[in-house]
Amino acid sequence: MDLTGQRVLIVEDEGIVAMVVEDYLEALGCTVVMVAARLEEGLAAARDHVIDLAILDVNLAGKVSYPIAEILRGRGIPFLFATGYGTAGLPLELRNVPVLAKPFRQIDLASAMVAAHSV
Amino acid sequence: MLTSEVMLSTLKDAETGQRGFLLTGDPGYLQPLGTAQTKLDAELTDLDQTPLSTPMMAEEIVTIRALAKARITELGVTVALVSNGQGEAALRTVRSDDGKRIMDALRVKVDSWQAGARAELEQAQAHALWAWAGVIGTRAVALMLLGGVALTYRRASRAVTLTMASLKRFTQAFGLSHGMLRTKEGRITFWAEGMEQLYGYTAQEAVGQISHQLLGTQFSIPLAEIESAVRENGHWQGELIHRRRDGSFVVVASHWALYEGLPGAPAIVIEINNDITTQKNAEAALRDKEISLRLALDASELGFWYFLKTAERRETFWDERCKAIFGLPADHSVDYTTWLGMLHPDDRDGALAGPARASDPDDPNDDYASEYRVTRPDGRLVLVAVTGRALFQPDPEAPSSRRVRCTLGTMRDVTEIRAMERQQREHASALLQTIIDTAPGLIFAKDLGGRMLAANQAVLDLIGKPWDQIKGHTDQEFLDDPAESAVVMANDRRIMERGAIEEVEETVGSAGVSRRIWLSTKTPMRDAGQKVIGLVGVSVEITERKKTEERLQTLVHELNHRVKNTLATVQAIAMQTLRRADPMLRAALDSRLLALASAHDVLTRESWQGANLHDVISTALAPFRGRDDSGRDDTRFTISGPALRLQPRAALSLSMALHELATNALKFGALAVAGGHVALHWDIEETDTLRFRLIWSETGVRLPSETSHRGFGSKLIEHVVARDLAAKINLDFAATGVVCTVDALVSEIVPAEEMMEFPHVGRTPQVGRTGAA
């Protein structure tokens, strides 16, 4: 699947990691809509922006990003989790969401994005 | 009376003579018969002269007389028959037993006559008509003798006319009686046959001696006093101790009587001594027994009582102690009403129940024991313990053919004992209660229905309700949270059904309080028959422990997350730093960091306790192993070896080593060429020690011999990994492919606790083998 031109929302509280993801996405020909570092920011972005896909960090400065996932799901926008926790911590209703274990390679990100679209 | 005895004896003599003659025909035997006949005549005359007060007794004498005559006549007849050659007839007469019948009748008459005479004497004594009668009360024979003398004296107020000779004749009638005659000075003039038996001295030895010297008399009171009493009253009686001929002592009941005799004649003392040693000993023994019984009763502070109830009479006896227990004076008379009236009203029914049951003829248990309170006259309340027994007598008309005759038993004041026991009980109970209440956990007991039977203060505090709202209620009733109580009660039911002790985690709190977690040890409670009747539980709060465990879990989780995030950050920094650097370099760094991160994933899954070697290999080789179109495993790899858990450090090192080997193979070796193959095998070898050997061996590769790729990868393997595992590593870049061997002590790479899984040298390691991973 061609990911070129995808409008992607990054929700990530660690700036340097977000930067790497931005690089990966640029390399993949995607457009980063916004990098949200906090839950509230992420919620607003998920509600208000036109997005093709979202990459969600689970832990946002101590708050979980699941409410953002709810909004995205409500809007039918595909998303994936990028986390250091692994799938074990995810709530049952989010178990089918693709999870990228940090750290990850560009190729891993690309396949996770493809997987997110096919869920 | 005496005379009658003599007469019987005379008749016996006559009979002996007759029998001797009948048997031998010797006329010599006829002499005693003749003498006896003469004697009898004289004795019968004496008998006639015996003064008698009642006509009945006179009649008796006539009968005795007639019988005696008949007997002597019969004896004479047989003798005459034999003398006349009519032996057969004589024998018939003898065999007819007529003689025996006469003698028997005579014996009966004499006995009854004697009894009559004795009664008369006793009457005389009662009327004090004759002081002497009292002297010799026990010996009817002697009494009769003296009675005769005295009555004559009294009646006629004449001088006694009996001569010394007739006195002696009478005294012979003492027979076996123990009497002596002596002068006022004590010189013995007559010594009866019985005296010889009693003292061992013959008449010959005794007569003429001073009796008190001969017998070494020990007086209970001074002799002078006795003599004075004899002079004054004509008699004395008392106990003396005499010494026998053999030196032994004898206690006698001694009776002295003064006989003044004829005017001018010397006064005579009649002394009759009866051996009462045995009786004295028996009395002493009885007294001892009584004393010991009393001592025992005193020591046990038991009072003795009985209650007699027959058709004729009712009698209540309480000893002094019984009365003292009830606070009554010793001379206070006690009956059923007194007793009942003093009982505490609440205890009356109980006090009556015991005796009523014991007295029930149909009830097999005739004993009872009860305790009741008694209000003493001084108002003090005492607790009395009673044991009793009902005694029965046969009564065909009564239920169970018996009727209660008497109840008897003991009583004891147990006020203080019970108070003390109660104190001790309370003390022990208070101690136990203190222990239970201060125990740092919940202690409780429930019945089969889950109803609370007992609980310590901690339970009440937890539930937040007073005991009366908990006692007899179930968890469902007194716990605030129905979900919590349902779990607790289900646990209880299961434990009681299974009848086995269990340790369970339960959540019990009260409303408004954050949930508290308890580790409960519940033990089925059984009755004497081992039937489960409830359970006893002890719960220790583990809320804090659970919180700590959860915190630790969170911490580990967070730490893993941080490590991964940090690796992600490091990766990001590296990528940003090398943005414009050689893409090959970036890829190499990237993949090494990712290999490290993946190895961490394996360890994180196992909470850093260790990692399965298969998992470590799978994870490390995952980026290099593709799948064919049908999803089968990459056939370029053959992986085999026993299951083995690795220490975290060994897992990380091996991960990195495998990553470098695979990267190298991908660039230059087996994974870079078609037909290349990687075999990864390991095993545990047992020599002196357990050793772990792993071989990475590539095949299907053809490389120029001079090719050497020793770079960071080989350094990492040969130095870092070798040190981490304390292993000998041989890395051979052969032209046909890389061969790398790792040889390490199992103890260096396996977690210490896992080493227990390995048996000692000489046995095959107990590790499972797996095929291709």
ipTM for the assembly: 0.75
Q: Indicate the burial class of B614 (C-beta count within 10 angstroms; 0-12, 13-18, 19 or more).
A: middle
pLDDT at B267 over 60: yes
pLDDT of B770 reads 43
Chain B contact set for A20 (CB, 8 A): 568, 571-572, 575-576
Does A23 contact B at CB distance below 8 Å? Answer: yes
- CA–CA–CA angle B271, B275, B276 (5° rounding): 120
Beta strand pairing call for B452-455 and B367-375: unpaired
Among all residues of chain B, which has the CA nearest to that of A87? B605
| Assigned token pair, A24 | 């990966």
CA atoms within 13 A on the CB side of B256: 27
Query: Which residues of B, range 571-600, sit inside 8 Å of A by Cβ?
Result: 571-573, 575-576, 579, 590-591, 593-594, 597
Q: What is the mean pLDDT of chain B?
A: 79
CA dihedral B326, B331, B337, B338 (to 10 degrees): -30
Chain B contact set for A102 (CB, 8 A): 564-565, 567-568, 597
Residue among A23, A89, A101 whose CB faces B575 most closely:
A23
Neighbours of B685 (CB within 10 A): 12
Q: How far is B650 from chain A (nearest CA, A)?
A: 22
pLDDT of B123 reads 47
| Sign of torsion over alpha carbons B279, B283, B288, B292 | positive
pLDDT in tens, B298-349: 777 888 898 887 777 788 889 888 999 999 998 998 888 889 999 999 999 9
pLDDT at B561 over 70: yes
Measure the CA–CA gap between B456 and B477, rounded to whole angstroms: 18
Among all residues of chain A, which has the CA nearest to that of B586? A105
Among all residues of chain A, which has the CA nearest to that of B587? A105
Does A111 contact B at CB distance below 8 Å? Answer: no
Chain A contact set for B600 (CB, 8 A): none
3-state secondary structure B106-141: HHHHHHHHHHHHHHHHHHHHHCCCCHHHHCCCCCHH
Percent of chain B scored above 90 by pLDDT?
25
Residue among B572, B590, B604 whose CB faces A16 most closely:
B572
Does B606 contact A at CB distance below 8 Å? Answer: no
Least confident interval from A29-43, B75-89, B397-411, B497-511: B75-89
Contacting residues for B317 by C-beta, under 8 A, at least 6 apart: B305, B306, B307, B308
Chain A contact set for B615 (CB, 8 A): none
- Answer yes or no: do B569 and A14 touch at CB < 8 A: yes
Neighbours of B660 (CB within 10 A): 25
Is residue B535 within 8 Å of residue B445, measured between CB atoms? yes
- Answer yes or no: do B567 and A102 touch at CB < 8 A: yes
pTM, full prediction: 0.45
pLDDT at B548 over 70: yes
Percent of chain B scored above 70 by pLDDT?
73
Among all residues of chain B, which has the CA nearest to that of A85? B561
- Answer yes or no: do B569 and A85 touch at CB < 8 A: no
Indicate which of B557, B558, B565 best probes the interface with A, i.e. most A CBs within 10 Å of its own CB. Answer: B565
pLDDT of B192 reads 78
pLDDT of B704 reads 62
pLDDT in tens, B28-62: 666 766 676 677 667 666 666 655 545 555 566 66
pLDDT of B137 reads 36
pLDDT of B53 reads 46
Among all residues of chain B, which has the CA nearest to that of A103? B568
pLDDT at A42 over 60: yes
Query: Which residues of B, range 542-571, sit inside 8 Å of A by Cβ?
Result: 557, 560-565, 567-571
Indicate which of A20, A90, A108 best probes the interface with B, i.e. most B CBs within 10 Å of its own CB. Answer: A20
